A = this chain, B = another copy of it.
Amino acid sequence: MNQIFELTIIGSNSAISTFDRFPTAQILQIQNQLILIDCGEGTQFRLDTFKIKKSAINFIFISHLHGDHYYGLIGLLTSFNLSGRTTELRLFGPPGLKEIIDLQMKYNGATLQYPLVFQATSMNPTATLFANEMFEVSSFPLQHRIDTTGFLFREKVGQRKIRKEKIEAFQLSVDDILSIKAGEDFITSDGQTIPSATFLLEASKARSYAYCSDTKYVEDLVKNIEGVTCLYHEATFETEKEHLAEKTMHSTSKQAASIAKNAGVDRLLIGHFSSRYKDLSILLGEARAVFKNTDLAIEGQKYEL
């Protein structure tokens, strides 16, 4: 009955798909909200494969306009239309994204039957993009070959866990517990009102997820992601190929781990693997040597944060 804050990897490969790995896409679930982060080609099909309810996605964040991060978006937007969506969709991405969508919709001869609210991202040092009662999202600049932003997702309030001894003392049902966690006072069978705070432990630290899609190694990145619960950082190459990382403005897994270490994050996920690696253990090993709590971003896998 914890509040959900969970990441599912949909695609983890860079550029050309290979070894059954596909271009970048992730689903972040915060409570009942599904947030899609980047949307490489075929994302809509892979959401079906992983039995993720596409219609529950109300937020999409696109980091940059390289195809392996957004070519699947127009198909998903079109499918929403064909399946009768009427719910508002919030879309965040580089300014050109809207122009690309509009042009394709123009030739499609159709209009979207649901509100698509587009908000352009920018390369400003940090910018709050969105906030509701559950979470807030900000962007920060990465350094890649074209304008690219990272995203930081942060719970508004930490989880409030119930005091176990109270469950038994008051014979609380599951529904009671959910109501109390939502801040409602408890009314006993003899009509006594007991404040919800009586039942709850102190709120834990609000969880956070930082997403750094495509970027060269930039020490300066650390200040934007300090102490996050989970950092996803691209790790396209092994150290021996650092010259390729520099040339293409990507990172090695060791560099990703250095960022994680210096930012004092709880956990690191690495992804955006080069098509040259069938076996990813070299990337994982080099990262773990620097930052122990590192895992590979594996497609279809869920990570509770």
Contacts and interface: CB of A to CB of B under 8 A. Distances in A.
Nearest to A65: B107
A94 B75 CA distance: 19
A72 interface: yes
A85 to B, nearest CB: 12
A113 interface: no
Nearest to A46: B42
Interface of A is mostly: helix
A131 interface: no
A178 interface: no
A15 B82 contact: yes
A75 B107 contact: no
Interface in A80-137: 82-83, 94, 96-97, 99-100, 103-104, 106-109
A264 interface: no
B108 A104 contact: no
Of A75, A79, A107, A109, the most chain B CB neighbours within 10 A belong to A107
Contacts of A107: 65, 94, 96-97, 100, 146
A175 interface: no
B145 A109 contact: yes
Of A16, A72, A82, A97, the most chain B CB neighbours within 10 A belong to A16
7 contacts: A15-B82, A17-B48, A41-B45, A67-B74, A67-B104, A71-B74, A71-B75
